Structure 1
């Protein structure tokens, strides 16, 4: 099958209807009427995303500044390496979200991806913010260099980087679908051993400011992962010729490789950290993979890991619902602004 090459969506095309014919490669005027979009429930996703607004400097880091020198050497090392990892992954997400929006012919997708891009920019700023609070400029720079120099991290990110760059060079339907798979892996799997490290510190009353910030990022990523999986399913439904056994096998293959790479990374960065059971962590990574596959509309590949083996993480953020307040009472983990969603007919 010949891959369909996509062109960038035109800003305005009045001869086409407002409601797009396809999310990518379709026909649309470019005018966004939230009462007339192809997938109406995406308005609720948009409202949840914009309700998650926050800023890094809202978080009080004064206790973390005092506590960081008292962390063990292993904890300090893991802290810096994981911040380096997270910054390496979040920085390209801003650009990738914007690139996806350039080829989206659904204006609702363009708007949602704009919000996601803004949130990824905030995430990346937050890593600079926490590091500037606890370490010197030299140590900050070293942490941000890890994505270019650390061999384990380079190996872990190699396939993701290649996939993203392939989309830039060849913006086809096939590469859009693959980019959505890699984005789903990044948003729903690749961050999670890092998140668990900071939540583990917070369990011991350590670095609670950093943990609070991470929970905000975690919540955003859950919403991003949810929308990306919906976008994947919609695109695959609109281009059924890509829904082949070979492509689905490719998705499962990428998930298995990613689980192996994430497990290798977590063993490397967390091996000397007290309170983290590496076998339990590997089970958690497989549990997350199963969860993301279900969201993509696919089958689980790890039948022995359908339950979360690290249930203590739920005290921070591991779901979409409910108010999660950490037991330090620093700040509610549920930071979404409260407002009732209007019905589409009431906009």
Structure 2
């Protein structure tokens, strides 16, 4: 079953029930009644997602425009490389979310993935927006070229790229689940050393507009990671032939390898940045990996990193541990609507 090709869900099948018989490869009319879905609590996830609505050009970048030139050379270099990393990861997420929705026979999954795809598109737009505020068009383009040219970044993204393309070419339940594993890694771990870089600047009162935008992206990604993890577990429960030791070992191996690659990338891009402790960052990456594994119903790989070693990050973003931050009350990080004066229209 797990190796059989999935068919794209039909738009409407009136003879099938409204409540889907399976998330993928099942039967459903295509009519969505949120009061009659297979996994009722997913309506709350949908509501949280749409409650996170924001737009990039409502964030005031005027202070960042002035401050960018005053950053150290290492900070400016890391700023451009991290934006390059984030854009490389977020751009394919829009397509991947939409692709998953095309094969989902549960209309609630289709709707949730549609919202996730829209938010990933906003994230990618926001990287263009912040770069257009602080650097020239040539430097913007160079940052977006990193995903195609930087050898460390190419190595880091290689396995993710291969798996995402494998699902495009061979849409089976097995490749869907493997793609969900890498999506969970992306949403729950791959972004986080980059996020930490911008939060480190913010705690020094540098580039606060950028870090505010990053906190909104971070908040979205936490919700995406939560849903992807639940979807992974639900698909696994519906396809028990995949719930075996070989697949579990594969998942653990991808996490181990991804942690090593993330640590290599972090050391490469952040080693010379003041305020970033690379050992602390390594612990944070392992902590995030443990967190995503638990959410996916698996055991932790790094027993020494069950707590967040970079607790100062909690001041900048919502998280799943119960700590909630009101973005509008943080005195150092104001969310201010702006006009077109930031230069985004010059793209």
- Indicate the TM-score class for this superposition, using the shorter chain for normalisation: over 0.9
The equivalent residue for 1:188 is 188
> What displacement does 1:292 show?
0.1
The equivalent residue for 1:340 is none
Distance 1:214 1:281 in 2: 18
Which of 327, 330, 333 lines up with 2:334 in the alignment? 330
- Give the secondary structure class of the aligned counterpart of 1:166: helix
The equivalent residue for 2:81 is 81
- Give the secondary structure class of the aligned counterpart of 2:24: coil
Distance 2:242 2:225 in 1: 21
> What displacement does 1:2 show?
6.5
Distance 1:211 1:167 in 2: 34
- Give the secondary structure class of the aligned counterpart of 1:139: helix
Q: 1:32 to 1:200 in 2, by over 3 A?
A: same
Instruction: Write out the 4+ residue segments of structure 1 that deviate beyond 6 Å after TM superposition.
Output: none
The equivalent residue for 1:63 is 63
> What displacement does 1:324 show?
3.2
Structure 1 residue 229 and structure 2 residue 225: aligned? Answer: no
- Give the secondary structure class of the aligned counterpart of 2:275: coil
The equivalent residue for 2:49 is 49
Distance 1:255 1:225 in 2: 15
The equivalent residue for 2:22 is 22
The equivalent residue for 1:97 is 97
> What displacement does 1:61 show?
0.1
Mark the runs of 5 or more structure 1 residues left unpaired by the alignment. Answer: 333-347
8 Å contact from structure 2 (residues 6, 171) kept in 1: yes
Distance 2:223 2:4 in 1: 29
**Which string of whole-angstrom CA distances, capped at 9 and with x for unpartnered residues, describes residues 181-202 of structure 1?**
0000000000000000000000
The equivalent residue for 1:34 is 34
> What displacement does 1:3 show?
1.0
Q: TM-score, normalised by structure 1?
A: 0.94
> What pairs with 1:114-263 in structure 2 (closer than 5 Å)?
114-263=114-263
Q: TM-score, normalised by structure 2?
A: 0.94
8 Å contact from structure 2 (residues 318, 325) kept in 1: no
Mark the runs of 5 or more structure 2 residues left unpaired by the alignment. Answer: 337-347
